């Protein structure tokens, strides 16, 4: 009984912490956007580190909105979705890879369809994407996040969505820039 109560308390605390962080990170992104609007000529190329706020991803049809952070460490993915190192950063040319947990922020990906619109907002502005394809693949399939020069967006989460434990596959959504 005590183990069950502790497990529920841990889950509730984790969700509360993530929700609180999402609110604070949203304010950080709003400040970045405001600074970019006030100083449009200044383009400082900064280095990003694990956990930095990079933007916000929205899929309007399914009501999903989540902050994008740099990196994919367990801590980062508890707080938001993470930019996959080695892929283009939001606002850069190329394919942007973003990973998230299926049981938190990327749960809604199960309801995404081809041609759905995905918005990626960063301090550089809003980029619009349209879903091309959805694929289920093995976890070690490194080709799912292409290093192509064409502007694109690849979202990755674990699959199946209602699997208990470490999921055996990956659910991949790819979109092209509109």
CA distances from 121 to 30, 126, 129 (A): 10, 4, 11
Q: Which domain holds residue 68?
A: 2-177
Q: How many domains does the chain have?
A: 1
Instruction: Give the pLDDT confidence score for residue 148 in this predicted structure.
Output: 59
CATH number at residue 151: 2.40.260.10
Closest CA to 79 of 89, 88, 70: 70
pTM for the model stands at 0.83
In this predicted model, what pLDDT tens digit does every residue of 106-148 receive, in sequence order? 999 999 999 999 999 998 899 999 999 999 998 877 666 765 5
CA dihedral 35, 39, 40, 42 (to 10 degrees): -100
- Hey, CA dihedral for 144, 149, 150, 152, is it positive or negative? positive
In this predicted model, what pLDDT tens digit does every residue of 27-50 receive, in sequence order? 877 777 777 767 666 655 568 999
Give the percent of the chain with pLDDT over 70. 90
Quickly count: other Cβ atoms within 10 Å of residue 49's Cβ: 8
Catalytic residues: 101, 158
């Amino acid at each position: 009984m005590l183990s069950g109560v502790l497990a529920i308390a841990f889950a509730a605390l984790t969700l509360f912490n993530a929700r609180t962080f999402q609110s604070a990170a949203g304010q950080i992104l709003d400040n970045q956007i405001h600074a970019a609007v006030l100083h449009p000529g200044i383009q400082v190329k900064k280095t990003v580190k694990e956990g930095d706020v990079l933007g916000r991803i929205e899929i309007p049809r399914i009501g999903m909105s989540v902050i994008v952070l740099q990196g994919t460490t367990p801590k980062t993915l508890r707080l938001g979705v993470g930019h996959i190192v080695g892929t283009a950063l939001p606002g850069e040319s190329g394919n942007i890879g973003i990973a998230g947990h299926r049981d938190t922020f990327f749960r809604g990906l199960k309801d995404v369809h081809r041609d759905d619109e995905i918005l990626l907002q960063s301090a550089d502005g809003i980029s619009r994407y349209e879903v091309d394809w959805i694929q289920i693949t093995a976890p070690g399939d490194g080709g799912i996040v292409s290093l192509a020069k064409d502007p694109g967006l690849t979202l990755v989460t674990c699959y199946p969505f209602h699997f208990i434990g470490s999921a055996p596959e990956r659910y991949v959504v790819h979109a092209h820039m509109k």
